[in-house]
Structure 1
Amino acid sequence: MKQTLGLVVGSRGFFPEWLVKEGREIILSQLKKWGYDVVVLSPEDTKHGAVQTWEDAQKCAALFDENRKKISGIVVTLPNFGEEKAIADAIRHSGLNVPVLIHAFPDKTSALDVKSRRDSFCGKLSICNNLRQYNIPFTLTSEHTESPDSVIFKEDIAAFAGVSRIVSGFKNLKAGAIGARPNAFNTVRYSEKILESSGISVEVIDLSEVLARVEKLKDSDKKVANKVKDIHNYINTSGIPDAPLVKMAKLWLVVNEWIKETGVKLFAFQCWSSIQENFGIMPCAVMSMFSDNLIPAACEVDLTGGLAMYALQLASQKPSALVDWNNNVDDDPDKAILFHCSNYPKSCLEDFRMGFGDIISTSAVSKEQAYGTCYGTIPSGPVTIARLATDDITGSITGYLAEGNITADKFPTFGGIGVVEIEDLQDLLAFLCENGFEHHAAINLAHSANILYEAFDKYLGFDTYWHNA
């Protein structure tokens, strides 16, 4: 589905009108070429389809209000100075609580005569001043003025679209918690009330309810057999017995139905040790399939870790994984090993194959009860690391962001593994320890910290640390 942006074209009467007519056509053409749907006044609605008067502002506000379910962000563009009051009124009276990007066309020093000068450079300051007075948060382009057909403006629009997806995605969000957290893991505790105060509701279901639904499915059911085939097609299952694969298929079907019933966009799962003791599998591959299909699945009922996975996914439109900050890399202070059993999505691992719970099967359960993990290596390249948490002391949602690279380092071990290199990693780790952040972190194989920080800090009100920003 295409993302829809609202477009406000600014104009001030005693500046050249031909610039507004041309500018509207240029920016509209660019946005559509880059794959966005656009809601904007037409030249039949107002002069040149711009917002210049109170009447224009009312028409724009009404148009945006009619399309509120579609519009994820508003772009304000200034082909000339623009009428700051009318633009601010249009946004305020639309009632839309979405991100706003302010763009200004550049002047040419060879065209500063009365008939050609834009003064958008100056007008941008005025519109930002008014939006600040109206208490409407807004995003700036990388440079004060940018040509609509420039590479930098295309990148700014893409980043702004990511910010808008995050803000829209977290609005009235429903997240799922399946089962209880492992008793030993106080670290993944969170406050549902703090989440609720930010518009995030939590749907819960006991693991026993899930397993009771699973027991009602027969091995011979066609949908079970089809899902077993899907699992074989999704991951290399060489050496894995048939019985646990059938159980995984049933679990996937039950969780998928519960997702449909509740409308959750992500979930966190009680992945040990009850499900091994009472059902006889690791749920990792099932969770991996959901994450790869853009329904983030976090382990150990780490729901706020799942929220960070979801935010990263909205920013990059790629699947996310949840990892442990797990090991040092000999004496290299800027490298660390990221590890889990794992439940990483297929797109986050090379040499992707099914294994078993190596650690849990050494003590708690047998190997036969622990098939279903995902082995592989995180491919080298860019990575963004993110974390969200609830802080009961301040009553707020907090988080951190860091960018780095997954290296080509490989070590003989099991599970899902990768080595991350981050500048001044020791400072970041000290910050995590001093501020009580969890040992889990969400990762996404793209650089998107700027997008997440803008969404978290400016629009969602999450107290966020951006490492080495």
Structure 2
Amino acid sequence: MQNIPVVKMGIISVSRGCFPIELSEMRRHNVAKAYGADLYECPICVETELDAKKAVEDVKAAGVDALVVFLGNFGPETPETMIADMFDGPLMYTCAAEGDGDLMNGRGDAYCGMLNASYNLGLRGKKVYIPEYPCGTAEEVAQQIREFVPVATALVGLKGLKIFAFGPRPNDFLACNAPIKALYDLGVAVEEHSELDLLVAYNKHKDDPRIPAKVEEMAAELGNENPYAGVLPRLAQYELTLEDWMKDNLGCSKYAAFANKCWPAFQTEFGFVPCYVNSRFTGRGIPISCEVDIYGALSEYIGLCVSNAPVTLLDINNSVPAQIYNEDIKGKCDYRLNETFMGFHCG
């Protein structure tokens, strides 16, 4: 399963009427050339509100998921920020540094325009990605776009994400009990069930004909010194249960993560701990957090989108004893005692 989006990036250049449009078009083309073929270059340079509408329609038709608005010169404040109203996806705003062309007749004042664009976006209440220094040569802007891609991937992914949660969040774990409205604000779907629902689904997979092949796969992965041989059929049954649940209940969402109950009743009722299966899912890019930690699952999924690598959670568990610090850390790493901690997770 492809559990994170493959984002198609696009770029729209803008131009203020009192500056030559050719300057902005040339600079946009230089950025596209420096970035490479994966960046869609919109042929419409925006000077007016109607240009903005046409340009957004063009990039949508091209399948663009995330967009760069590039000020090749000062830029038209209203049309360029209207793009943020019209494009429903991650947006980055940046501008051209001087130097591409004649410094007398080819001056663009884009840096000044970027300040005004930022203020106008604030007036419109729009949240966009603005690089730390939103100005650069073609190569520098291309690098800014590359750094924007992981951010855009996470934002697009969250709008297509469904988090399946099994079990009430554990008593006296307030850190796992944050209100989930903030997830809905991000566009994340949350589907909550009792762990009894999970147990019923698990029991329905008893004697599933796919279990032997799954056991064989797990055994090959664990190797000769396999401490879980006796429990592998149950682990395989559980893994198939989660796979089928995800397939059958994803609905309108595109991507999935889980936040599942894992203790204390899980061990007695299911007859095993789920950590190994959780790890296998996470290794395939489908995060499963423990303790019905919905925000933990969200964090893991964001980390997956940003890094394109498996992500898990590690507790800041306890402080490092001074004796261990003095023997193993001091003088070897540039950390003070109170800057260290011991990390732990049960899985």
Bin for the TM-score computed over the shorter chain: 0.7 to 0.9
Moved more, 234-243 or 53-62: 234-243
Shift of 1:316: 1.8
What are the residue-to-residue correspondences of 1:312-461 with 2, within 5 Å? 312-331=303-322, 332-342=337-347
Indicate yes or no: 2:167 matched with 1:209.
no
State how far apart, in whole Å, the 2-side matches of 1:37 and 1:121 are.
23
What CA deviation, in whole Å up to 9, does each residue of 1:244-274 have, x standing for no partner?
1111111000101111222262111111122
Quick one: structure 1 residues 117 and 334, their matched pair in 2 at CA, closer, same or farther if it must change by over 3 Å? Answer: same
State how far apart, in whole Å, the 2-side matches of 1:52 and 1:240 are.
67
Quick one: structure 1 residues 237 and 220, their matched pair in 2 at CA, closer, same or farther if it must change by over 3 Å? Answer: farther
Shift of 1:205: 2.9
User: Is the Cα contact below 8 Å between 1:102 and 1:138 reproduced in 2?
Assistant: yes
State how far apart, in whole Å, the 2-side matches of 1:59 and 1:268 are.
43
Instruction: Name the counterpart of 1:25.
Output: 29
User: Is the Cα contact below 8 Å between 1:219 and 1:225 reproduced in 2?
Assistant: no
Instruction: Name the counterpart of 2:176.
Output: 188
What CA deviation, in whole Å up to 9, does each residue of 1:436-463 have, x standing for no partner?
xxxxxxxxxxxxxxxxxxxxxxxxxxxx
Instruction: Name the counterpart of 1:293.
Output: 284
For 1:180, the aligned partner's letter is P
What CA deviation, in whole Å up to 9, does each residue of 1:209-254 have, x standing for no partner?
3333333335572x21221233234444624243311111110001
Pick the aligned partner of 2:47 from 43, 52, 65: 52
State how far apart, in whole Å, the 2-side matches of 1:109 and 1:60 are.
24
Instruction: Name the counterpart of 1:41.
Output: 42
State how far apart, in whole Å, the 1-side matches of 2:121 and 2:280 are.
44
For 1:78, the aligned partner's letter is L
State how far apart, in whole Å, the 2-side matches of 1:2 and 1:141 are.
22
Question: Aligned Cα RMSD in Å?
Answer: 2.6
Higher relative contact order, chain-length normalized (CA < 8 Å, sep 6+): 2
Instruction: Name the counterpart of 2:132.
Output: 142
Quick one: structure 1 residues 194 and 146, their matched pair in 2 at CA, closer, same or farther if it must change by over 3 Å? Answer: closer
Instruction: Name the counterpart of 1:105.
Output: 96
What TM-score does the superposition give when structure 2 sets the normalisation length? 0.83
Quick one: structure 1 residues 230 and 32, their matched pair in 2 at CA, closer, same or farther if it must change by over 3 Å? Answer: farther
Quick one: structure 1 residues 199 and 290, their matched pair in 2 at CA, closer, same or farther if it must change by over 3 Å? Answer: same
Instruction: Name the counterpart of 2:80.
Output: 87
What CA deviation, in whole Å up to 9, does each residue of 1:282-330 have, x standing for no partner?
1001000111111111111111111111122222222211222212211
What TM-score does the superposition give when structure 1 sets the normalisation length? 0.63
User: Is the Cα contact below 8 Å between 1:2 and 1:37 reproduced in 2?
Assistant: no
3-state SS in 2 of match to 1:104 = strand
Indicate yes or no: 2:159 matched with 1:171.
yes
For 2:294, the aligned partner's letter is L
For 1:286, the aligned partner's letter is V
What CA deviation, in whole Å up to 9, does each residue of 1:346-379 have, x standing for no partner?
xxxxxxxxxxxxxxxxxxxxxxxxxxxxxxxxxx
User: Is the Cα contact below 8 Å between 2:7 and 2:66 reproduced in 1?
Assistant: no
Indicate yes or no: 2:19 matched with 1:15.
yes
User: Is the Cα contact below 8 Å between 1:203 and 1:262 reproduced in 2?
Assistant: no
Quick one: structure 1 residues 296 and 23, their matched pair in 2 at CA, closer, same or farther if it must change by over 3 Å? Answer: same
Shift of 1:73: 2.5
Quick one: structure 1 residues 237 and 325, their matched pair in 2 at CA, closer, same or farther if it must change by over 3 Å? Answer: farther
Instruction: Name the counterpart of 1:131.
Output: 121
State how far apart, in whole Å, the 2-side matches of 1:260 and 1:323 are.
28
For 2:214, the aligned partner's letter is K
For 1:317, the aligned partner's letter is N
Quick one: structure 1 residues 61 and 238, their matched pair in 2 at CA, closer, same or farther if it must change by over 3 Å? Answer: same
Instruction: Name the counterpart of 1:431.
Output: none
Unaligned runs of 5+ in 2: 323-336
Number of matched pairs: 325
Unaligned runs of 5+ in 1: 43-48, 343-469
For 1:142, the aligned partner's letter is E
Indicate yes or no: 2:6 matched with 1:6.
no
Quick one: structure 1 residues 142 and 178, their matched pair in 2 at CA, closer, same or farther if it must change by over 3 Å? Answer: same
Shift of 1:183: 4.1
User: Is the Cα contact below 8 Å between 1:5 and 1:72 reproduced in 2?
Assistant: yes
Shift of 1:339: 0.8
State how far apart, in whole Å, the 2-side matches of 1:105 and 1:198 are.
31
Higher strand share: 1
Quick one: structure 1 residues 277 and 30, their matched pair in 2 at CA, closer, same or farther if it must change by over 3 Å? Answer: same
What are the residue-to-residue correspondences of 1:209-358 with 2, within 5 Å? 209-219=197-207, 221=209, 223-236=210-223, 238-263=225-250, 265-331=256-322, 332-342=337-347
State how far apart, in whole Å, the 2-side matches of 1:255 and 1:185 are.
25
